[in-house]
Chains A and B, each alone.
Chain A
Amino acid sequence: MAVVFKKSPVLADVPLHYCPGCTHGIVHRLIAESIEELGVADRAIGIAPVGCAVFAYNYFNCDMQQAAHGRAPAVGTAIKRVHPDSIVFAYQGDGDLASIGAAEIVHAAARDEKITVIFINNAVYGMTHGQMAPTSLPGQVTTTSPYGRDVNHCGYPIRVCEMLCTLEGNQYMERVAVNNVKNVLAAKKAIKKAFQRQVEGKGFSLVEVLSTCPTNWGMSPQEALKWVDEKMIPYYPLGCYKGGDK
């Protein structure tokens, strides 16, 4: 029988706890494959966030530190300074990165830290049951915006790549999605590039991944994938914002 799919050895052999149809798992796979293909698993050090991906420290076959809510870029900064030859990656949700950890991500990017950040934008706080995130769309109904996000009351959602790409330096920032095969392939390319750049000693890299949370969006997995296309991508255009092929 021909092997059509083999799980990356950089993913631990344990079941993931994510909800059915959640795309966190796909992003884990893309990270693991990138690390494997670049042959850097033995010097990779990952940082797990506070959020649905908190157990990421059990899912990657490499050294891991779990960080306080929003502080992964600070933790990663220090790890990279201690072990400059390591490949440091932080995995963060949108509440984690764009709200409570807004200062840490801005300053890690501003210092052009040689770390890779994978940023999961699913437009809600997943783990705490779907509250409004800094990325929730205008009008989006969440458990703390039951009448829909009112931009006159709490402002507009933050576009992280657009905001960070104004910084000076050698950073790479790209927004991708994982809601169909074509987008997953493009996401893989971007994530691998983010790691590749770190291997080459280049600066900060961040890949924002538009991700689904069918559980808190109150949708089927299919509907959630469609919602990414219809609602998220128009507000969060895909593409490279900084550090394209140069």
Chain B
Amino acid sequence: MSKILMKGNEAIAEAAIQAGCRYFFGYPITPQNQIPEYMSRRLPQVGGCFLQAESEVAAINMVYGAGGAGARAMTSSSSPGISLKQEGISYIAGAQVPCVIVNMMRGGPGLGSIQPSQSDYYQATRGGGHGDYRCVVLAPSTVQEAVDMMAEGFDIADQYRIPVILCGDGMLGQMMEPVEMGRYTPRKLPEKTWATTGMGSRKTPNIINSLYIDAAILEQKNAELAAIYDEISANETKWESYRMEDADYMVVAYGTTARIAKSAITKIRAEYGIKVGLLRPMTLWPFPSAAIAEAAAKVKAVLTVEMSTGQMVDDVRLAIAGSKPVEFLGRSGGMIPAPREIIDKLVEMAGGKA
């Protein structure tokens, strides 16, 4: 298929439709509005249903209903709206309903700003709502990758019956890049025999539920979920390793921040001869801890760069377990780190010119 120029948000919406998503429920919020707008245009053309919900709370509960009924369903929002969805996401995780949630992160806390941010990392990777659960968290750094991840995200959701969050930032949603649809090869997936479709000729009712009033049974349920999370960690962890072969310093960054880090790396190598590489988590949960630990063993020090005051850096430190110094560089509130800031920080870490 040939490449077309698309805005991130619209490409994500189209990729969802091509992945078989036919139900979209959402509520307006900047900077993700092009996703529902695109969906409202396109879904009726393919026999799907776009519904503007009365709130993010309603939207996520509609996703719960549609996903539970066996459909591929999604919602998208940005930080404050994602906060509102958390109770619903917890129910979705507990009842094991597959779905995809897009968060085009903006600056916070509170109403914050509408500029790009990565400050919902904790919320996304720690479950976000109440209870012992995880969401698979995908972190694309280009529009093409967002398109590929949308397709795979629906498959991961269905395969493991888990909510999948695609975490982008305002920049990714607004930028235009050439993309190719349909690069991802769909997985073979089990039938959704558990869905609420009406019993038809089935003898026993299907029940979508997250209530286990007997503590011993809920503990068992939590153990089952934990086993699925272990399986996902073993199978679905993804990262990119960039110029790490000869690196003395490692940058860890994700999403659009990783792109800025790449330009910094090219420049610092050329200008200062300091050998820096990048390890870019593509899944924020499961986190590529083993890959980071292995790569850290071969470098002098690590720099984590984020558009936050320091969230993923905790996971990097946990992965490395004190074996190497881990420095942090962050911009927040919607401010974007410049390559020069990253270069200066690395030069300082390397003790001036190499």
The residues of A with any CB-CB pair to B shorter than 8 Å are 41-45, 47-48, 54, 57-58, 60-68, 71, 74-79, 81-83, 85-87, 103-104, 106-107
Contact = CB atoms under 8 A, between A and B. Distances in A.
Contact of B61 (A45, A61, A62, A68): A68
Contacts of A42: 198-201
A87 to B, nearest CB: 8
A75 B70 CA distance: 13
B198 A74 contact: no
Interface size class of B (residues with CB under 8 A): 35 or more
A10 B113 CA distance: 52
Interface of B: 23, 25, 49, 51, 53-55, 57-59, 61-66, 68-71, 73, 87-88, 91, 95, 196-201, 205-211
A45 B69 CA distance: 9
5 smallest beta-carbon distances between A and B, as pairs? A78-B65, A75-B65, A43-B198, A71-B61, A63-B196
A238 B176 CA distance: 59
Greatest chain A CB density within 10 A among B49, B62, B91 is at: B62
B208 A64 contact: yes
A64 B198 CA distance: 9
Contact of B208 (A44, A62, A66, A107): A66
Contacts of B91: 67-68
Given A68-B91, A103-B58, A79 B205 contact: no
Contact of B197 (A41, A47, A63, A103): A63
A65 B54 contact: no
Given A57-B207, A57-B209, A60-B205, A83 B198 contact: yes
A71 B54 CA distance: 11
A67 B90 CA distance: 12
Contacts of A82: 23, 49, 65-66, 69-71, 73
A81 B64 CA distance: 13
A61 B202 CA distance: 11
A60 to B, nearest CB: 7
A66 B198 contact: no
B61 A44 contact: no
A103 B54 contact: yes
Q: A48, A71, A75, A76: which has the most chain B beta carbons within 10 Å?
A: A75
A78 B205 contact: no
Nearest to A81: B49
A219 B16 CA distance: 56
A48 B196 CA distance: 13
A81 B208 contact: no
